[in-house]
Amino acid sequence: MLRSFFMRKTLQQDKKFTLISLKTGDLNKKQILSICKLKNLYWSWTIPKQFEWYKKTVKKTDINNMLLIEKKLVGYTLLRKRKAFENSKSFIYYYFDSFILHKKFRNKGLGKILILFNNKVLNKLKPHSFLTCSKKTVPFYLKYNWKILPKNKFKIMDHKPAWFNSMTSINGMTYNLDKKIKKKIFYYFN
Distance between CA atoms of 137 and 156, rounded to whole angstroms? Answer: 19
pLDDT bin (cut points 50, 70, 90) of residue 126 is confident
pLDDT-derived band at 139, boundaries 50, 70, 90: very high
CATH of residue 164's domain is 3.40.630.30
Strand partners, 173: 131, 148
Q: Once rounded to an integer, what is the mean pLDDT over residues 108-116?
A: 95
Query: 163: Cβ–Cβ under 8 A, 6 or more apart, which residues?
Result: none
What whole-number percentage of the chain has pLDDT above 90? Answer: 69
The pLDDT value recorded for residue 1 is 40
> Which residues, listed in sequence order, are joined to residue 90 by a DSSP beta bridge?
85
In this structure, how many other beta carbons lie within 10 angstroms of the beta carbon of residue 108?
Answer: 16
Pairing of strands 63-69, 171-175: unpaired
| pLDDT tens profile 1-42 | 454 555 555 454 556 889 999 999 999 999 999 999 999 988
Per-residue model confidence as pLDDT tens digits over 38-91: 999 888 888 999 999 999 999 999 999 999 998 999 999 999 999 999 988 999
Q: Could you give the CA distance from residue 121 to residue 28 in angstroms, rounded to a whole number?
A: 21
Beta carbons within 10 angstroms of residue 48's beta carbon? 10
Task: Provide the number of structural domains found in the chain.
Answer: 1
**Cα→Cα distances 157→24, 35, 47, 84, 114, Å:** 24, 27, 28, 9, 28
Alpha-carbon distance values, 185 to 36, 84, 87, 91 (Å): 31, 7, 8, 10
Query: Residue 91: its pLDDT value, please?
Result: 94
DSSP symbol at 43: S
Domain of residue 42 covers 5-187
Whether the pLDDT of residue 142 is over 90: the answer is: yes
Distance of alpha carbon 39 from alpha carbon 23, whole angstroms: 18
Average pLDDT, the chain: 88
Q: What does the pLDDT read at residue 186?
A: 93
| Distance from C-alpha of 41 to C-alpha of 130, rounded to nearest angstrom | 24
Give the pLDDT band (50/70/90) at residue 131. very high
Return d(Cα 76, Cα 16) in angstroms, integer.
17
Distances (CA, A) of 117 to 29, 108, 123, 173: 23, 16, 10, 17
With a CB cutoff of 8 Å and minimum separation 6, the contacts of 135 are 169, 171
